Structure 1
Amino acid sequence: MKRWLSIDELIALSLPGLPSERSALSRKANKENWEKRKRDTGKRGVTYEYLITSLPTHSQAVLTQTTDIVEPEPSNVLSQDSQKVLLQRMLGSLTEDEAEALNQVLVRKGVEFILLLLNDVNLQLLQLSSEEKERALRLITQIREGASSDSEGKELSNPAHKQAS
């Protein structure tokens, strides 16, 4: 089954939401950064094929439901290249004001995260082993549920003692 289709093949499929003229479809593919590769046709000029997963979501859905041309992705995990293309498409669709607002949020949240990492308590928590983190989370859950008596507190503060008894 094919995972790459040329402009002519896409036009022949008459997919909803896609232009029916070669030049318009080619412009749309370039504008939306569809993943493409060159195909040797033996003729002059260059023919590109486009990865099905780069097409708009509704076109992908129609292709996978109505034809046997497309082989579904082997898993729900996107390849690193597909992730980059998707991110580029999303960022490219933002207005200048939206892009600036996103940039400000990312900078602010990044700084907040770094400041959290500089906190001694947080650094200690991050350095705990997986087992210690699980025990700490269980302890927090038990405390929140109201386990506050002295005897329970002693048992909770020393899980090894609790397991031994």
Structure 2
Amino acid sequence: MRVRPFEDVVAAHGATVLRVCRAVVGPVDADDAWSETFLSALRAYPDLSEDANVEAWLVTIAHRRALDVGRARSRAPVPTDAMPERVAARADPATRDPDLWSALSRLPTKQRQAVAYHHIAGLPFADIARLLGNSPEAARRAAADGIKTLRKTYRKDEIA
């Protein structure tokens, strides 16, 4: 039987779960993924072993729920009054001033996830490797490559 109330788990790890959700699906769908994460976690929480790493467990659930929310969003029809004459061209990401989330979203999937799980959620590479289905060394390399790319493409403040 769990001694720690689930409300305390939400309070302790809610911000981390939200950051992971934002990194995986972006800020628009992050709230839905966060809610889905804690609904799933609430159902499974009574059966979680006492010695489990609750944060890693929640990040795993958040990863899966965020992917589910992203998939559902991509399949949803978008209503329009009329078909456009032609598709508007997207601005080249290299020519605009990217913020962190757009820079992060341009990383390859495994790099983006490794950066988010390690640098945003604070998970060790062994846990990240299990999430990504690779070795801890590959997870470490993906995170390092992602950070290297972000350092080249993202500038928080321009110094004149």
Which interval holds the TM-score relative to the shorter structure?
A: under 0.3
Choose between structure 1 and 2 for higher RCO, CA contacts under 8 A separated by at least 6 residues: 2
Larger radius of gyration: 1
More helix by proportion, 1 or 2?
2
Greater fraction of residues in strand:
1
For normalisation by structure 2, the TM-score amounts to 0.27
